[in-house]
Amino acid sequence: MKTIDQFNFANHKALVRVDFNVPLDKSFNITDDKRMRAALPTIQKILNDGGSVILMSHLGRPKNGPTGEFSLKHILGDLSRMLDLEVKFAHDCIGEDAVKQASNLFPGEVLLLENLRFYKEEEKGDVAFAEKLSRLGDVYVNDAFGTAHRAHVSTAVIAQFFPKAKYFGYLMASEVENADKVLNHPERPFTAIMGGAKVSDKILLIEKLLDKVDNIIIGGGMAYTFARAQGGEIGTSLLEADKQDLALELIQKAKDKGVQLLLPVDTVIADKFDNNADKKEVASGKIPADWMGLDIGSKTIKLFADVIKNSKTVLWNGPMGVFEMESFEIGTKAVAEAVVAATKDNGAFSLIGGGDSAAAIAKFGMENDVSYVSTGGGALLEYMEGKELPGVKAIND
């Protein structure tokens, strides 16, 4: 991999794409700064070499040009504190101010550009916009794994203007290495845990994993489509009616390939989608009308945990229930505990997919007890499905 370790940044201006798309509360305080912290080693390496850093990122999904709500200015103070220096800010990512501030940047200094998505050209992959951005620096570094599946200007198109000076940052490199390790060199048994709301989001990944894993565990909202497809009653639980045939096909494919596919045997049901709902446990496929399944049941927890704890490689993507509500977090927490046990007691390598699984593991305070928590949700899914990510390809080309 072409990483920043292969370049000495002394007296160079590095244009670094980071993913600072962090969640903010109503007062614009950062509620989870993991993605920012994850990019610090790359920034530090460039500064330590004697280079300067021009950071570019998006924040949220602004639709019609600049708005205060989506300004990266909100994160400037935190970034300065994290780096222990005063980060400069350009109120526009291209244009006179950006050009002037970039050219006046001294070694050891950091400049943050305003939200790239204030220009619709960014998401459109506009080459002229890419050329303008590229003028700000003389080396291009991509450290934004969370957006590596997008063929946007800052994540891919811009790389063509740095044919001999483009590198992966440390975060990108470790994300790709960890995903490759799981996909290509898993120690066995290899168990994939799939959860979350929809089967349709994860079909491609499940199909791909059937060629790789020894066990596949399916929980969360998507499990009810499987239960219904097998003739069970699921009340008002989540259902993707048009995916039932596919669910049966996946079960058959797992059988054909000798993969153990585990589905919940019992489930926690509620009379409404509410933390204070009445709840009880029933067998899978035996949910009364007007009740909905919001978590896996206690027999299922034991079944899943036993398989997970005996694994040497674990990939987890998607919660087992509505873990955001305390009443329905038990299954997800128990699975997280089993992943931690596999890692600590069985020496397993555990990779936690980004998005909601990362949010769950953070909620339970177990981030440091697993092998790796990815910062990419969609990007990791697509990489693992076998797609070439535009952000990775642009550096490799």
> Distance (Å, rounded) from C-alpha 57 to C-alpha 115?
6
207 binds ligand AMP (CB under 6 A): no
Residues 266-295 that bind ligand AMP (CB under 6 A): 293-294
196 binds ligand AMP (CB under 6 A): yes
Q: What angle do CA 279, 266, 249 make, to 5 degrees?
A: 130
- Catalytic annotation, residues: 35, 198, 355, 378
CB hemisphere CA count around 349 (13 angstroms)? 14
Interface residue with ligand AMP among 19, 122, 143, 201 (CB under 6 A) is 201
Stretch that binds ligand AMP, among 43-51, 125-133, 314-322, 368-376 (CB under 6 A): 314-322
* Nearest-approach distance from CB 195 to ligand AMP, in angstroms: 6
Binding mask 148-187 for ligand AMP (x = CB under 6 A): ----------------------------------------
CB atoms within 10 A of CB 65: 10
Q: Give the per-residue SS3 of 52-72.
A: EEEEECCCCCCCCCCCHHHCH
- DSSP class per residue in 157-177: GGGGG-TTSEEE-HHHHHHHH
Binding mask 79-118 for ligand AMP (x = CB under 6 A): ----------------------------------------
356 binds ligand AMP (CB under 6 A): yes
376 binds ligand AMP (CB under 6 A): no
* Nearest-approach distance from CB 371 to ligand AMP, in angstroms: 20
* Nearest-approach distance from CB 160 to ligand AMP, in angstroms: 33
Q: Which two tokens stand for residue 177?
A: 């290495």
Residues 235-254 that bind ligand AMP (CB under 6 A): 238
* Nearest-approach distance from CB 41 to ligand AMP, in angstroms: 28
| Parallel, antiparallel or unpaired: strands 266-270 and 292-296 | antiparallel
- Residue 164: exposed, middle, or buried by beta-carbon count in 10 A (0-12, 13-18, 19+)? exposed
Residue nearest to ligand AMP (CB): 196
Residues near 349 by Cβ (< 8 Å), separated by ≥ 6?
181, 182, 186, 187, 312, 313, 314, 343, 371, 372
* Nearest-approach distance from CB 267 to ligand AMP, in angstroms: 8
| Parallel, antiparallel or unpaired: strands 266-270 and 279-283 | antiparallel
> Distance (Å, rounded) from C-alpha 170 to C-alpha 5?
9
Binding site for ligand AMP (CB under 6 A): 196-198, 201, 220-221, 238, 293-294, 318-319, 321-322, 324, 355-356
